[in-house]
Amino acid sequence: MSEVDARPFAFRFELPSTALVIIDMQRDFVEPGGFGESLGNDVRPLQAILPACRAVLQAWRAAGGTVVHTREAHRADLSDCPPAKRERGAPRLRIGDAGPMGRILVAGEPGNQIVPELAPAAGEIALDKPGKGAFYATPLQELLQERGITHLVFMGVTTEVCVQTSMREANDRGYECLLLEDCTESYFPQFKAATLDMVRAQGAIVGWTATSAQLLQALSGAATARC
């Protein structure tokens, strides 16, 4: 059993029954020219979490843990993108429009790929999701159940949209969830701070939060115990 010095209290997990879930670390959200920027956002804060995310991913892989990557992605005919999503707001480019990195949030386009620093490795789960939550219209629940996964460690973007929605979906399905504070980011610092507070409020009502250093420490403790 590994123990993370998390908030509001210790998060305990066993590596074989825990998956690292990396939400939507795609070029469309993280790089200039993508969907995030077309909505008028500064993408630099999202780029700043890449080194911490990479360090966790490398350590998780080295420990032999299950990894799940998600991409917010729609079919080319947009049949899975309802008007309530596509026509919202006044972005420079809407979902499906052609941008500098191909069609915005369309599966297979260059901008829809996960950033090279965190690219999925062979054998890792990589899922396209048409909604904000990772469980909506995806086989994620079945894939986790097949592997006996009961605990999830979350990273990714954006904190208050797809990360929070996925964590809440997971919590409703009975998963124990930890969110890594310095491995998630929002275009709006106040929304990130509020989400971290909401997640761990009322005795971890949605889940726990911790820093990547705290998770890495727990992982190195587990490796020492195995030696």
> Segment contacting ligand C5J (CB under 6 A): 14-22, 139-147, 154-162, 193-201?
154-162
Q: Is the CB of residue 43 less than 8 Å from the CB of residue 129?
A: no
Which residue, 57 or 105, has its beta carbon nearer to ligand C5J? 105
Residue 80 CB contacts under 8 Å (≥ 6 apart), including other chains: 74, 130, 137
- Of the candidates 109, 112, 117, the one whose C-alpha atom is nearest the C-alpha of residue 36 is 112
Which residues 86-145 are close enough to bind ligand C5J by CB under 6 A?
none
Q: Minimum distance between the CB of residue 162 and ligand C5J, rounded to whole angstroms?
A: 3
Known catalytic residue: 162? yes
* Contact status: 161 vs ligand C5J (CB under 6 A): yes
Q: Minimum distance between the CB of residue 152 and ligand C5J, rounded to whole angstroms?
A: 16
Q: Minimum distance between the CB of residue 85 and ligand C5J, rounded to whole angstroms?
A: 8
Which residue, 161 or 210, has its beta carbon nearer to ligand C5J? 161
Return the residue of 31, 37, 72, 169 that touches ligand C5J, per CB under 6 A: 72
| Active-site annotation holder among 53, 81, 132, 162 | 162
Q: Is the CB of residue 22 less than 8 Å from the CB of residue 217?
A: no
Return the residue of 73, 114, 162, 199 that touches ligand C5J, per CB under 6 A: 162
Residue with tokens 């480019």: 93
Q: What is the DSSP-derived secondary structure letter of residue 200? A: H
- Of the candidates 222, 188, 163, 186, the one whose C-alpha atom is nearest the C-alpha of residue 21 is 163
Q: What whole-number distance in Å separates Cα of residue 76 and Cα of residue 177? A: 33
* Pairing state between β 208-210 and 176-185: parallel
| Active-site annotation holder among 129, 177, 183, 192 | 129
Residue ranges in contact with ligand C5J by CB under 6 A: 24, 29, 72, 157-158, 161-162
